[in-house]
Structure 1
Amino acid sequence: MGSHVGNDEDKISQLPDALLSHMLSFLLTKDAVRTSILSKRWKNIWASVPSLDFEHYSCAGFVSFVDRVLYYRDSLDIQRFRLHFKCFPIDVSSIDRWIRTATSHNVVELDLCLNFLGGVEFEVPESVFECKTLVVLKLKSDSSFTYAPPKLGCFPNLKCLHITIDYPDKDLLEKLFSYFPVLEDLSVEGEWNDHVNCNVKLFVPKLKRLSINIHSTGYFDEPYEYYFSIDAPKLEFLDLRVDILPSMSFDNSKSLVKAIVGFYYHPAIMQEHFCDRATKILAPVSNVEHLSLSAHFLDASCIPAFGNLIHLKLVLHDCYRWEVLAELLKKSPNLECLVLEHEQDNNCYPENSEDEENAVDQENTEDPWWNCEESAPRCLLSHLKTVLIRGFMGCRDEKQAAKYLLKNGAVLEEMTIYVDNVLYSREKLCMEFAHFQRGSMTCRLQLV
């Protein structure tokens, strides 16, 4: 990029410094620095970029490069400081120095991904916890990551905290979540093993969004316990995805509007406490208007009443466990939109399959819930307007469920079915559905 390209004037180089600096902020810092060779006009633009983005996975020359960049920017504030670093060996004093520099230059967003090989431990500087300008903090690390937050004055203006920790110890978890006076968005992720026995207490008075995504790496054959106590009176959105169900309690959860709940498959679902913990986890979200529920082997008895629920997405992992859907319809009188999503199960077969006789559950064949004589759920008679079915496999029970919804959906306006099995004739399926009885004569049926 010179001053001219052919007869065309270089219009980009004529842009104001502030705009060029903003454009470079979307690049890795090493690429932003490289633009200094383009021309004299570009020589020092990179030095005013408000965002510093360092990403490296080897040590050769990286430490000196970061030091030089910070030296040339010594008098300028740092809006965003991103450091994703993985190498061996490393002098952690350099990492400490860079983070302290960022916090001393009024950093607003701090994004750290620090994985040290060889058993090296790194303690997050106290300046991170005390930084008055810090609004967004993202921390990702393995078990080498440690910290000792001060007892008072932590995160005075922090509004967003995303933390990913693999294989943490008990003390690490219990010390991490201290009082957050203005935090609005909290995300906790990681892989935990079967040695986690901790009590995590959160009191977050202004929290609006909470995400917990934890996968276990052990079989948990022995008794285990990790406990979340959450007091968040302004919480509006909850995203909970776990396989080993924790003991969890919510205080002041009446402000919840939307929830995503996913219980991943794990051998622990066969343990006696699974149903009890599932019930206690679902109870606090019973006031939501929007719910996405995905669970393996969830018993219908765990389902609470959802008096405010308008939009429901239910992910089915076993196409013959429809009693959960039945219970949700019964306990959601104001439901307007239903999304059913099927994740393929090896035990689910299309109707024309040779293995169908083995696939159909005997109990469902004799008394499926959609053939019962009792009146249809209230939501079908007066509120449900839209049904969307994804991953339709052509199984007998899937068709019967769709038939039941069509027949009893008195105010149903649209049903859309995405067929996900090329072995099943879509044309035959369309003809079959065309003969199904409909409770609403204005309902539009689409098979995609």
Structure 2
Amino acid sequence: MDSSNSSSKKKKCEEDEDMISNLPDVIISRILSFLLTKEAVCTCVLSKRWMNMWTTITKLRFIDRKLYYRTYISRTHFLNSVYRVLLHLDAKSIEGFSLSLTKDYDSYHINQWISAVLSRGVKELFIESNRKLDIFLHSLWKSQSLEKLVLDMNVCAVRLHMNGCAVKVPHLVYLSSLTVLELSGVTVVCPPSNESKNMCLNFPLLRVHRATNCIWLNVKVVSFEVPLLEVLSISHTRAFKSVDSQTVIKFCAPRLTKFSYSGFIAPIPDTVLLDLDLSTARIASANIDPWEFVRESTENTGSFAFELLKQFNNNVECLKFERSKVLAVAHDEFPAFGMLTRLEMGNVTGDILLIFLRNSPFLKTLDIQELLGFGEEHCNPENVPYCFISNLEVMKFGKLKGVEDELRFAKFALEHARVLKRVSFCHHWELRKSIFGKVKKKILSFKRSVSSPIIEFL
């Protein structure tokens, strides 16, 4: 009996034992670094050992609202708490500093906090605000420890219908350790003293750059020296009012593998022009989705999209082009895509589609979402592209409406694609089942150059 009681007491003691407190200080500090900084500070009441444990954390994360109940913290209380943490922090270096703001604060305080963490060699800096904010620290652009920089002000930009964050950047920048740069809803301002209006950003280790709704002021040419850049994404999802400036953004990115551009192309002179030095790059995928600002800007949109396409001449493997009908206004010579194996088109005209196919001799997969016209003149055997004869294996048709233009191209492809293995047709949601059944019968009746390609109807 005594033995049984002793065993149960021992088991209870083991269950009640504080396993975390038995861990080394360095492990506890690491665990606390994953909490919100406010929660980490609250552990000081647990015991004498824990009183100053939070001062050794290396990741700081501040949010000026209660995360779970959506109740807000007073502005004064939040300011004081951030200053106290930075004052009492014992960590010699900081891995990350994250700041999420929902209220108006004097930009002076934000810049003071950024300066404090920069002086401790912060590696990752994340600032998010839905209020107006200015960042004017030159030391931010001299940091040799910073590896990741994220400035997310897009919510503020949507609310104000203009960019709510102005970031002052010197005309020469060199960040030796930066690998990720993400800017959203930011206006980059070059100092007026820069008479040449040129800005050079040298990031030798940068791998990823994403820019959303960014504006450049007081600068005509921005040059990114990014020899290791792999991912480049640029988006303009809002149309800004005129800023009476034209900025050319140049990227020297010989190792770029993934590119994406989407959004509005504002009428000149308000547009941002891209100049990509991709002479030695092998682009795995490029996604281009140009939006029209107004009807009058169709020509500008087409010209911009066409110039962008030309920069991927013979070095892109997978190309996705939405709204390719805008290219109808571009009359210059189309580039050749000697490495292209997969082509995805949004809404495309018959003329543009045939040009792409003729200029992509090694194409293996063709994906068309919406075909806008394919007349009898396009069905001439002289228009059969080389890829139909030698390489094209898979074709996909999305949003099939069963109109004559679509059926005409389907017939043209089935008759002339000699190595075709699979064809799939996905009907548009407006197409009735009864009509879709007739469309299927008609497609299945078409003559095929290949005896047994798999034909799917989805």
* TM-score, with length taken from structure 2: 0.76
Match for residue 424 of structure 1 among 432, 440, 456 = 432
**Per-residue CA shift, 1:239-278, capped at 9, x if unaligned?**
2224226443333533141322221122266465554443
Q: Which amino acid aligns with 1:232?
A: A
1:223 deviates by: 8.2
1:235 corresponds to which residue?
256
Provide the C-alpha distance between the structure 2 equivalents of 1:188 and 1:219, rounded to a whole number of angstroms. 19
2:178 corresponds to which residue?
158
Percent identity of equivalent pairs: 24
Contact 1:237 1:256 in 2 (8 A): no
1:156 deviates by: 2.1
Provide the C-alpha distance between the structure 2 equivalents of 1:15 and 1:415, rounded to a whole number of angstroms. 63
Provide the C-alpha distance between the structure 1 equivalents of 2:116 and 2:400, rounded to a whole number of angstroms. 55
Contact 1:13 1:41 in 2 (8 A): no
Match for residue 101 of structure 2 among 82, 85, 106 = 85
Match for residue 127 of structure 2 among 107, 112, 130 = 112
1:219 deviates by: 7.1
Tell me whether 1:260 sits opposite 2:282 in the alignment: no
Match for residue 73 of structure 1 among 89, 92, 97 = 89
Provide the C-alpha distance between the structure 2 equivalents of 1:331 and 1:340, rounded to a whole number of angstroms. 17
Contact 1:191 1:214 in 2 (8 A): yes
1:45 deviates by: 6.6
Provide the C-alpha distance between the structure 2 equivalents of 1:272 and 1:188, rounded to a whole number of angstroms. 25
Contact 2:282 2:316 in 1 (8 A): yes
Contact 1:192 1:216 in 2 (8 A): no
- What SS is found at the alignment partner of 2:220? strand
Provide the C-alpha distance between the structure 1 equivalents of 2:358 and 2:291, rounded to a whole number of angstroms. 25
Q: Aligned Cα RMSD in Å? A: 3.9
Q: Look at both structures and tell me which one has the larger radius of gyration over its CA atoms.
A: 2
**Per-residue CA shift, 1:182-203, capped at 9, x if unaligned?**
333222221559x998332333
1:38 deviates by: 8.2
2:201 corresponds to which residue?
178
- What SS is found at the alignment partner of 2:361? coil
Match for residue 213 of structure 2 among 165, 190, 200 = 190
Tell me whether 1:199 sits opposite 2:216 in the alignment: no
1:336 deviates by: 1.1
Q: Which amino acid aligns with 2:227?
A: P
1:356 corresponds to which residue?
none
1:96 deviates by: 2.1
**Per-residue CA shift, 1:22-54, capped at 9, x if unaligned?**
566555434555677789998777655443222
1:168 deviates by: 5.3
Q: Report how many aligned residue pairs link the two structures.
A: 415
1:99 corresponds to which residue?
114
1:98 deviates by: 1.7
- What SS is found at the alignment partner of 1:240? strand
Provide the C-alpha distance between the structure 2 equivalents of 1:393 and 1:91, rounded to a whole number of angstroms. 56
Q: Which amino acid aligns with 2:335?
A: P
Contact 2:301 2:326 in 1 (8 A): no
1:379 deviates by: 0.9
**Per-residue CA shift, 1:141-181, capped at 9, x if unaligned?**
43542324385x73122122112244556759967653333
Contact 1:100 1:125 in 2 (8 A): yes
Provide the C-alpha distance between the structure 2 equivalents of 1:422 and 1:37, rounded to a whole number of angstroms. 64
Match for residue 232 of structure 2 among 165, 189, 210 = 210
- What SS is found at the alignment partner of 1:279? helix
**Per-residue CA shift, 1:314-345, capped at 9, x if unaligned?**
122x6xx2322211111100011222234xxx
Contact 2:144 2:175 in 1 (8 A): yes
Provide the C-alpha distance between the structure 2 equivalents of 1:31 and 1:433, rounded to a whole number of angstroms. 64
Q: Which moved more, 1:210-219 or 1:8-17?
A: 8-17
**Per-residue CA shift, 1:398-442, capped at 9, x if unaligned?**
333333333322212222333231542144443333323333233
1:307 corresponds to which residue?
338
Q: 1:248 to 1:423 in 2, by over 3 A?
A: closer
Q: Which amino acid aligns with 1:311?
A: R
2:143 corresponds to which residue?
131
Tell me whether 1:323 sits opposite 2:351 in the alignment: yes
Tell me whether 1:434 sits opposite 2:455 in the alignment: no
Provide the C-alpha distance between the structure 1 equivalents of 2:245 and 2:35, rounded to a whole number of angstroms. 45
Provide the C-alpha distance between the structure 2 equivalents of 1:219 and 1:180, rounded to a whole number of angstroms. 31
Can you give the 5+ residue segments of structure 1 that lack an aligned partner in the other structure? 343-347, 349-359
**Per-residue CA shift, 1:105-143, capped at 9, x if unaligned?**
2211111224544xxx63342332222221111123435
Provide the C-alpha distance between the structure 2 equivalents of 1:394 and 1:444, rounded to a whole number of angstroms. 19
Tell me whether 1:278 sits opposite 2:298 in the alignment: no
Q: Which amino acid aligns with 2:228?
A: K
Q: 1:67 to 1:168 in 2, by over 3 A?
A: closer
1:332 corresponds to which residue?
360
Q: Which moved more, 1:333-342 or 1:293-302?
A: 293-302
Q: Which amino acid aligns with 2:445?
A: H
Provide the C-alpha distance between the structure 2 equivalents of 1:249 and 1:261, rounded to a whole number of angstroms. 15
Matches within 5 A, 1:27-42: 27-33=35-41
Q: 1:92 to 1:277 in 2, by over 3 A?
A: closer
Q: Which amino acid aligns with 1:225?
A: Q
Provide the C-alpha distance between the structure 1 equivalents of 2:447 and 2:47, rounded to a whole number of angstroms. 74
Q: Which amino acid aligns with 1:134?
A: L
Provide the C-alpha distance between the structure 2 equivalents of 1:372 and 1:6, rounded to a whole number of angstroms. 87
Provide the C-alpha distance between the structure 2 equivalents of 1:253 and 1:435, rounded to a whole number of angstroms. 47
Tell me whether 1:399 sits opposite 2:407 in the alignment: yes
1:140 corresponds to which residue?
152
